Each structure stands twice: as C-alpha cells, then as structure tokens.
Structure 1
Amino acid sequence: MGTKVIALITAALAPAIALLSYFYLRNEYEPNTLIQVIRAFVIGALLVFPIMVLQYALEAESLLTLDWVKAFGSAAAMEEFFKWFLLYSAVYRFVPFQTRYDGILYGAALSLGFASAENIMYLMALGIDSALGRAFLPVSSHALFGVVMGYYMGSAKKQENRRHLLWMLLSIIVPIALHGLYDYILLTIHENVVYIIVPFMFFLWWFALSRTKKADGKTA
C-alpha cells in the first residue's frame, strides 16, 4: 500500500476516531462495551455500500430531479432510516443500556462508521485536500445525527406503551429532519453558503450536545 493511500485513509478516519473517542471517554465503560462500540462502527461502515447502490439507481432512473426530494428523500430518509434500523436491530434489541447516554454512544459509533467509509471514498475521488472540509461538515454532521438518534432511542429503552413509541418515533423523525435540512442548504444555496451552513452546524452541535448533557449519567 502506497504512502499516499495510507495518508488518505488516515485523513479519512482521523476525525471519526477523534469524535468517537470523545463520546466514549466521557463515561467509564467496561472492556466489553468497547467491543460493542467497534461492532457498531463496523456495521455502519458496511452500510455505505448498499446505500450508494440504491442512491445511484435512483439517480440513474431520474427519480431525484427536485432538490428537496434529493435532500430529504435520497440522502436523509434513506441514510437515517437504514442507520436507525441497524441501530435498533443490531444494538437496541441485544445490548443492555444502563443510561440514555449508551444510546448516544452506539448511535454515534454506527454513524461515524458510515461517515468514515463514505469519507474514504470521497477523498479517493476528490483528493486529500478536501479532508479538512469534510471533517467539519459531513463527518461531524453524521456523528451529530447519530447522537440525536441514539439519545431518543436510549430514552425509549426502558419506557413502555405510548411513551416508548413517542421516543422511538422521535429517534427516526428528528435525525431525518436535521439531515434533510443540512443537505437542502448545501444543494440550494450556491453563493455565500458558508453564512448559512456554519450557523446551522453551530445549532446542530448545540442541539446534539445539549441532548448529551441531559442524558449523561441519567437512567433511560
């Protein structure tokens, strides 16, 4: 493997590893938790390939002609639904949650796995010069969508009846809405987009971290 390829993969993985380390080190966990976190990360990474095939098929059939359909449909709804489904089926159903923060950790891990695999592909196509911009936008936004999804799913873990259903609905609806708005901004605003996307990212960080502080150390 050439030096350039190693540098590219390192640049693609570094922001995800840094973010995941931050969320993991906030609390003390047993060693087996780290194994589950890595497992969620790998599951998220593998999800990239079927998602890309589906999105390519939709593009090829000219089914995504409107910007809002691309933003909220092909990107947000498809990606967040499959992440939600895997988080629910591979983690939520089998891994015990001690607090709501556990949901945040696993949601971030799965989303960062997805973002890392996607980032490697984009950097291979665009070059390593785009690594910094992708670290601040796509990679961090995927992490924050995962944090929000995990917060609501973690909140649902020990709830029952209608309250449980409400949290589960929020765990898919809110990430889709945030992801769709993020993509819609990038698709429709071509001049001075930085003046819109930067405040949105500040809002996204505030929203996700406020959920993190609320969940930290509290039972689900």
Structure 2
Amino acid sequence: MLAYVCLYVAVSVFWLLLFSGYRRHLKPGTIWRVFLIGLLAGPPAGLLSAWLQSLLDIPSDALLQKFLLYFFIVGPVEELAKFAAVFLAAIKRLDFRSSSDGIVLAVTAALGFAMGENVLYLLSFGLEATLPRLILGNLGHAAYALCWGYGLGVVFHEDAPFSILLGGLGLATILHGTYNFLITWNAISAIVALLLSGVLFLLLFWLTHTESRRT
C-alpha cells in the first residue's frame, strides 16, 4: 500500500511541477507553501461537508440527494477551502504580482487538496476503486480552481471589479457540483462528465499559457 501512496503523491507533484513552470514572479517557497496549505485544507473541508450534511434535512430521493449534496455542500465547501488556502498563504506575498500568478496559485492549492483527497480515498476504498482519480481528481480540482484563480489575479493586480472573483468562485462551484453529480448518476452522464473534464483540462492549459505570456 505504501508504494501506491507514493504513486499518488508523485502524480500530484508531477502536475505541480508542470504547472509551476508557468509562474512569472512566484518563488518556489511560495508554491510549496500554498501546496502544503491546500493539502491541509482537505480534512477540515471534509468535516465541514459532513457536518452540513447532517444538519440538512435532505430528501430520501437518491437523485435529489446527490444534487443537493454536490451543488450546495461539496462544491461550495471544497472550492472555498482551496480559495482560503491561497488567500491565507500568498495574498500578501510580494511575489504574487500578476493574473497568471493567481492562476498558478489556485492550481497549486487545488493539487495539494486533490493529493490529500486521493490518498484518503486510496486508503479507504483501495486501488481499483480510486485509480481514475490519479488523473481526474488532480486535473478536475485544478480546472475548477482556474475559474477563481484568474479572478483573484485580475482583481488584485489589474483593478478588475470584485464581481469577477465572486463569479469565478460561483462558476467553480457549479462545475465542481456538475462533475460530481454526473459521474455518479449513470453511465451516459459519467461519459459526459469525462468529456467535461477533457474540455476543462484543455482550457486550463490554454489559459495558463496565455496569461503567463500576457503578464
């Protein structure tokens, strides 16, 4: 099992090193700081989601349960947890100086969060049930975070209206909830979820590359 844990960690670190190559001003110490805090944000987010779920009187209908859970609890809580990791770790650091830095920081926190989540799922459910998360978990979390990471960068460094950041957080929450809902609904919706992940993956690379050249 230790070898599998190392594999899951190595995959997340690989994606981190790949995306950190797009940093313009961020120092390596800032990257690893945000990655670690993103990792540490996972357990509190999981506990908060479980607590909120216990408080709400969720209907017994299975499909409605999933919809409410993913769109109104899991999506918002996990995206806000990743956002909080970036805000706490890097918002006042002098090397956070452009919109592209906002994207890289968001992706970094998301990869730390995903790594912890993937390892926890591995230990809980085994390799076969969680192997697809090696790719989908990492890139899914990173792609959702792209939405508010871009907003964070342009609001703080290009005087964009604060509504862009709020809109980015809202969009990330919707995409996150949509993916989780579709992947657990049925086989056809799972295929749609995978296609959505592919589109978000391409958008993530394109926007990261574009912003790193623009700023």
Deviation at 1:58, TM superposition (A): 3.1
* Cα 1:176–1:144 shift into 2, 3 Å: same
Q: Which residue of 1 aligns with 2:62?
A: none
Cα offset, 1:60, TM superposition: 3.6
* 2:38 alignment counterpart: 44
Matched residues, number: 210
Partners of 2:162 and 2:142 in 1: CA distance: 24
Length-normalised TM-score, structure 2: 0.87
Aligned-pair CA distance for 1:19? 1.0
Shift of 1:217: 2.5
TM-score of the superposed pair, with normalisation by structure 1: 0.85
Residue of 171, 175, 190 corresponding to 2:172: 175
Q: CA deviation at 1:38?
A: 0.6
For 1:40, give the aligned amino acid.
Answer: V
In structure 1, the residue matched to 2:150 is 151
Question: Could you say which residue in structure 2 is the equivalent of 1:25?
Answer: 21
Confirm or deny: 8 A CA contact 1:156 1:167 kept in the other structure. yes
Per-residue CA deviations over 1:32-91 (Å, capped at 9, x if unaligned) read x11111110111111111111122223344544422211111110111122223322332
Identity of counterpart residues, as a percentage?
Answer: 22
Residues 64 and 122 (structure 1), Cα distance of their counterparts in 2 relative to 1, 3 Å cut: farther
Residue aligning to 1:199: 195
Contact 1:148-1:211 within 8 A present in 2 as well: no
1:90 match:
89
Map 1:1-220 to 2 at 5 A.
4=1, 6-27=2-23, 33-61=27-55, 63-65=57-59, 66-160=65-159, 163-187=160-184, 189-219=185-215
The answer as to whether partners of 1:148 and 1:208 remain within 8 angstroms in 2 is: no
Residue 29 to residue 93, structure 1, CA distance change in 2 (3 Å): closer
The ranges of structure 1 where at least 4 consecutive aligned residues each deviate by more than 4 angstroms after the TM superposition are 27-30
Runs of 5+ unmatched residues, structure 1: none
The runs of 5 or more residues in structure 2 that have no matched partner are 60-64
> How far apart, CA to CA, are the structure 1 residues paired with 2:176 and 2:94?
26
Go from structure 1 to structure 2 and tell me whether the alpha carbon gap of 1:182 and 1:46 turns closer, same or farther (over 3 Å shift): same
Contact 2:24 2:101 in 1 (8 A): no
Q: Deviations over 1:74-122 (max 9, x none)?
A: 1101111222233223322334333321111111111111111111110
Structure-2 separation of matches of 1:184 and 1:42: 28
- Offset at residue 210 of structure 1 (A): 3.0
Cα deviation per residue 1:180-220 (whole Å; 9 max; x = unaligned)? 11112123x2233442122111221133223213311323x
Q: Distance in 2 between matches of 1:28 and 1:61?
A: 44
Cα RMSD between the aligned structures? 2.1
**d(CA) in 1 for partners of 2:78 and 2:209?**
26
Paired amino acid for 1:103: G
| Structure 2 CA distance for partners of 1:172 and 1:215, relative to 1, 3 Å | same
Does the aligned pair in 2 maintain the 1:157–1:164 contact within 8 Å? Answer: no
